[in-house]
Structures are given as structure tokens and as C-alpha cells.
Structure 1
Amino acid sequence: MISCRCLILCLVGIFVLDTIFFHYLIQWGRDSLNRRQIRLAVIDDVELNTDRSDQISSNADVRSRATFWGQFPLTIKGSVGKPTIPKIIHQTWDTEDIPETFHRWIVTWKRLHPDWSYWFWTLKEIRRFVAKEYPEFLNLYDLYTEDIFRSDVMRYLVLYKYGGIYVDLDMEALKPLDIWSHNFNCIVSEETYEHPFVVREADPPANIVNGFIACRPGHPFLKSAIDSLEEFAGFYFGDYLHATGPFFLDAVLERYLIKMQNASHMRSDSVDITIVPPKYFFPTYDPSESDLITGRCFPGAYQLLKEPAKITCKELLKTFLRRTPGVDSYTDHHWVHAYMFHPDWKKKNTKLITEIVPSAITKHV
């Protein structure tokens, strides 16, 4: 009986200590979190709806590729006059028949951007576009083993030619992007920090996402991406993440930043690229990773994490391990991973894109 009581008391004690520690972590996160420790070169708390001056910040301790950014003023001028980035929204799918899953998110783009053009690209239309505008890449385009490679390549080629904003079909618009199109030349976003630091435990991380890219036509960063496609196909031909996808874009970005650092003639407003933190365009993590993230951020396992992951968990604990779009969020990504689904899924409850967005432009060549 005595041993049984001791066991019960021990278990209660462990539970109480764990609860206290969990509470301590939450309070610690509220009081001391410094997210700049896990940023590379980002807009730091920009108030995009006001006319004021802000700065780009960088942290060389975490990601050396951004050390040359330093501090310089960033003026937000509002959305008057001609935009730097054309007001064109680009999206793509295999055909013009869109699965029901995406309908509710697609309509948010035109609803919040009534004066923007909406361009929709099918695989057939993309190939015609490549054949006409980039014939030197047509052979590589045809050699890719899966359509996800072609979808990745499409966004670099189309944005370089026409400019605008590319967004995946599982991206939802939360606020108009006009202010961004008037104040920047090229924008890429970091992935929500839970993915590179907690899920992948990457150090340094590869965390630039290609599900959202906004750029003026002819930007040299996009040219760098296009010129790197053949090289990366040779190294990572069957790996879409590294050959054409987010890890590819991250590597190209690193090269481009080094090039800017070493070439004084490139240091001008027309060729800059703005890297923003996840809170603007990728504020939430993949729900399929929820159990893994929760397990690693919970007391006990938390102590085994690397410092960037600990910092990420500290902030996540402030919201009790949940992540939702905030007041700064302009879009949200829903992490559908459609390329992993059975082909029959794509044929269920479909609508033509012109039924969803009547003004959609579907012919480009």
C-alpha cells in the first residue's frame, strides 16, 4: 500500500512540475522572444498602410548570406500612380477544370483585387508559352518527369516575361496587395519558421517558398533562376524540391545576394529583392505536421532542440501551439499538397476556371 501511495505521489509531482515548466515556457516566450535571431533580411514590422520610413534588418549570426544588407531606409509611399509590379495575378493548374477544394480560395483573389488582371495557365498553355518565348528551354521542360517541375518553372518564366504576382491555388487572399505592388520590385517570402527549424531541424535553413512570388518583369533575380534551371536539373533531376522548387529558389537567392554584394553596379533600387518574414504571406504551418511540431515543442523534448527551434517554439507556445493569420497577414497558405493526391481526386466536383473567375484570361499565346 505504501509503495502504491508513493508511486501516486511521484506521478502527481511529475505532472505538477511539468505543468509549471510549461507555464514558465509560455511566460518566457512572452517576455523574451527575439524573432530577429531567426530572420535573415526581412521587413521589420512595416506598417504598410501609412506613409513612414522603415528599415530592412538582417542578422549575420543566423544566415551569413544576408550580412551585406545592413540597414537602409525603406519608404512606404502608398499605392498612388503606376505600380512597379504589374497588377496581374498568375495561377496554374493541369487543366481549366479546378477541383472543389480550391474554389473558395481562388475567388478571394479577384474579390480583393477587382482592378487586377487574373491570368490562368494550364499545362498545355504553358508549353505553348515556353515554345514561343523560351524555345531554348523547351527540351528541358519536356524532359521533366512530373508536372510539378513544370509548374515550378512556369512561375519563373511567366513572371520574368510579364511580371505580377504568382500564387499557388491553395493560397487565400486576406487583404489587397496593392501597397506591395507599388513599393517593391521583387518580393519573396520565408516559410513559416516551424517548418525549417522544428520539422526539418535545418541549420542553416532553406526556407524561401516559391508558392508566392511578386516581381516586376525582367528582374535579374528571375533571370538568375531561369539561367540556373539546367544546372540544377543535372544535379537534382528527379528531386523537384531541389531542381525547381523551394530549395532551388533558396539556393538561387543565395547566389543572387552574393552577386549583389560583389557587384557595386547592381546596388540600385531596380534590382533589389525584398525577403519578408512568414507573417505576411505564410503565417500558418502545415496541419499535417501538427503532431510532430507539438511533440518537439512540448516540455522535455524542447530541451533537445537547436536554438533557432527553441526560439520558434517559444513564440508558438504563446498561442498554445496554434498558429493563425495575424493582423499583418495578407495571405494564408493551406498546404494542400495536391501533387501527392490520386489523379481521380482532380476530377471530382470540378468547375471551369471561368465559372469561378468569369474575367479569367486563359489564352496567352
Structure 2
Amino acid sequence: MQKPLIVATSRIIKLLANITKVLSYPFHWVLPNKRFTLPEQAAPLLKDGKPGPIPRIIWQTNFTDRVTLPVYLNYLFNRLMAPRFEYRFMITEARRAFIAEHYPEILPHYERLQIGAAQADLWRLLVLHKFGGAYLDIDAHQIWPLSCVLGAERKELFVTTRRGELSNYFIASAPGNPNLARLIDQVVLNIGSDASNNVFHLTGPGVFNSLLDRSLLPTVSYRHAVHQGNFTNEHFQYIDKPQGKWNHEQRNISVLKEDAVPDTPQHSAFNKTR
């Protein structure tokens, strides 16, 4: 009975979100330079509640913390849908600083990535492996309370698409997840071997679907957890980024810099030391 209720709720949210998106066009026509600031860190709106194995943290990243009204409304909605979760956000420079501090052996591989989306793909795996929590893309929004989606006992949760494939726009995990360690190892190996010039296959969902067995993973359909692109769209997300979305960027530049290939960290050493 709950799933039909979630789907019905998601349709109402989609309608309301799209109304705010349409109204944002005249708003930014009148105020073309108006931007809202996403906080680097924000405390939970509500303090009570029992934490489960997955820490109550929402992680997001973007090339800038100064965003348009639709992106900011998307952020506010996620906060309301996860009131007992802390919020943490990193821009490009903060992502690099995090990796330099906690994963210095992976930094040379990270720095070969020239496209922000590919960098964010690797960063989200590392930050969840280190601290745990739930990662959402900047245009993703919950359609059901996050605490209910995660449950009290789960140690990880992956989202599946309309076609039943794994995606990485929503990932939830406890720290030290061996599946995330495997994904990190594979992404680093892909970068070191110039495995692809496509973000999707080099660092993104293609890695998840080639490496992980969906039948052995706890998964949730996007229909019952997290949607994308209802509050915002490419215009509002990349209004201050002429290069546009990653799929446009990779048509014009190589995903990987033509630097000397760094030594790949030993997989066993990574798993033992993290």
C-alpha cells in the first residue's frame, strides 16, 4: 500500500516543483544576477531521532555555491524532507582539499580529470567511504522522507533507474563500505589506464553496472525515493557555466589530461588502510 502512496505523493511534488520552475523564469528575467548561497554545513532542523548505520548527513557538490532560485528551492525541499539530517556541501576547490587531506594517494588520479562531473563522481565515493551519509546530485530531490527510505538497519542503498540499472545520483552508505572501496579502486584503475573518454563509463554509473551485482545489493527504484530535474533544469543549473553539462563538455575536451599516468594505488593497501 505504501508504494502507491509514494508514487501519488511524487506526482504532487512534481507538479508543484514544475510550477516553481516556470515561475523562476520571470523571477530571473527581472533579477538576472540574483543568486542564493548554499551553506557549506547546516545543522539538522530537528535534533531528536535514533541514527542508524548510515550517518544522518546529506552530501552535495557543485561548481559554485551561488545558485539560482530553482536550485535553492530544490535544496530547501531536501532539507524539509530530511529534517534530522545534517547538510554538507563542497564546491570544486573544497572537493580537492578533502581528497588531498584524506586520500593523497588518489589525488594525482583525481587531478587528471578535467570535467567537473567526473571529479564529482570520484569525490562522492570517497566522501561516503570516509564519513558515510547520503549523496544527492544538485538537481535531485526526495519524494519520500529520507529516514523512511533508508530505514533503521540498512548499511547501504543504491538507486535504480527506469530501466532497472544502477545510477549514482543518489547513494547512501555507512563509512568503510567495501562496495564503495571496490568502486573507488575501479575508477582509479580506469583513470590510470585511460579506459574511456566518456564520463559515464570512466567514473559514473557505467562503473556501477559493470562492477556490482544488482541482485546482491539493497536498491530502491527512483519512483520510490529520489527524482531529478523537477525543480530545476540545465538552464538554471549551468546559467553561470558556459561549458554547460558534462555531456556537452566532453564533446569539446578530453575527460583526462594528457599528463603522465600516475602510479595506481594497490587495491589491497587501500582496503586495509581505510
Q: Indicate the TM-score class for this superposition, using the shorter chain for normalisation.
A: 0.5 to 0.7
Give yes or no for contact 1:189–1:208 (8 Å, CA) kept in 2.
Answer: yes
| Cα displacement string for residues 19-67 of structure 1 (whole angstroms, at most 9, x for unaligned residues) | xxxxxxxxxxxxxxxxxxxxxxxxxx87999xxxxxxxxxxxxxxxxxx
User: What RMSD in Å do the two structures reach over aligned CA positions?
Assistant: 3.0
**What is the aligned partner in structure 2 of residue 81 from structure 1?**
50
Task: Determine whether 1:219 maps to 2:177.
Answer: yes
| Cα displacement string for residues 246-303 of structure 1 (whole angstroms, at most 9, x for unaligned residues) | 111222213x97xxxxxxxxxxxxxx7302233213xxxxxxxxxxxxxxxxxxxxxx
**What is the aligned partner in structure 2 of residue 231 from structure 1?**
189
Q: Which amino acid aligns with 1:223?
A: A
Shift of 1:333: 1.3
Task: Determine whether 1:186 maps to 2:161.
Answer: no
**What is the aligned partner in structure 1 of residue 83 from structure 2?**
114
Where structure 1 has 5 or more consecutive residues not aligned to the other structure, the ranges are 1-44, 50-78, 197-206, 258-271, 282-330, 347-365
Q: Which amino acid aligns with 2:67?
A: I
| Partner of residue 208 from structure 2, selected from 243, 249, 262 | 249
Q: Partners of 1:155 and 1:273 in 2: how far apart? A: 18
SS at match of 2:83: coil
Q: Partners of 2:84 and 2:198 in 1: how far apart? A: 38
What is the 5 A alignment of 1:134-153? 134-153=103-122
Q: Partners of 1:340 and 1:236 in 2: how far apart? A: 28
* 1:170–1:86 distance in 2 versus 1, CA, 3 Å: same
Give yes or no for contact 1:144–1:237 (8 Å, CA) kept in 2.
Answer: no
Q: Partners of 1:248 and 1:342 in 2: how far apart? A: 29
Q: Which amino acid aligns with 2:152?
A: H
| Partner of residue 95 from structure 1, selected from 61, 64, 67 | 64
Q: Which amino acid aligns with 1:81?
A: K
Q: Partners of 1:216 and 1:337 in 2: how far apart? A: 31
How many equivalent pairs are there? 198
**What is the aligned partner in structure 1 of residue 123 from structure 2?**
154
**What is the aligned partner in structure 2 of residue 67 from structure 1?**
none
Give yes or no for contact 2:54–2:155 (8 Å, CA) kept in 1.
Answer: yes
**What is the aligned partner in structure 1 of residue 228 from structure 2?**
333
Shift of 1:96: 1.6
What is the 5 A alignment of 1:21-36? none
Give 4+ residue runs of structure 1 displaced > 6 Å after superposition: 45-49, 338-342
Q: Partners of 1:86 and 1:116 in 2: how far apart? A: 8
Give yes or no for contact 1:80–1:182 (8 Å, CA) kept in 2.
Answer: no
For the pair shown, the structure with the greater C-alpha radius of gyration is: 1
Query: What's the TM-score once normalised by structure 1's chain length?
Result: 0.49
Task: Determine whether 1:275 maps to 2:219.
Answer: yes
Q: Which amino acid aligns with 2:170?
A: F
Shift of 1:122: 0.8
Give yes or no for contact 1:86–1:181 (8 Å, CA) kept in 2.
Answer: no
| Cα displacement string for residues 113-135 of structure 1 (whole angstroms, at most 9, x for unaligned residues) | 22210000111011001001001
Q: Partners of 1:87 and 1:132 in 2: how far apart? A: 23
| Cα displacement string for residues 58-80 of structure 1 (whole angstroms, at most 9, x for unaligned residues) | xxxxxxxxxxxxxxxxxxxxx97
Richer in helix (by share): 1
**What is the aligned partner in structure 2 of residue 343 from structure 1?**
241
Give yes or no for contact 1:85–1:181 (8 Å, CA) kept in 2.
Answer: no
Task: Determine whether 1:177 maps to 2:135.
Answer: no
Give yes or no for contact 2:121–2:203 (8 Å, CA) kept in 1.
Answer: yes
SS at match of 2:212: helix
| Cα displacement string for residues 99-145 of structure 1 (whole angstroms, at most 9, x for unaligned residues) | 33312211111112222100001110110010010011100111112
Q: Which is further off, 336-345 or 176-185?
A: 336-345
Give yes or no for contact 2:3–2:224 (8 Å, CA) kept in 1.
Answer: no
Where structure 2 has 5 or more consecutive residues not aligned to the other structure, the ranges are 7-47, 245-274
Shift of 1:229: 1.4
Q: Which is further off, 148-157 or 166-175?
A: 166-175
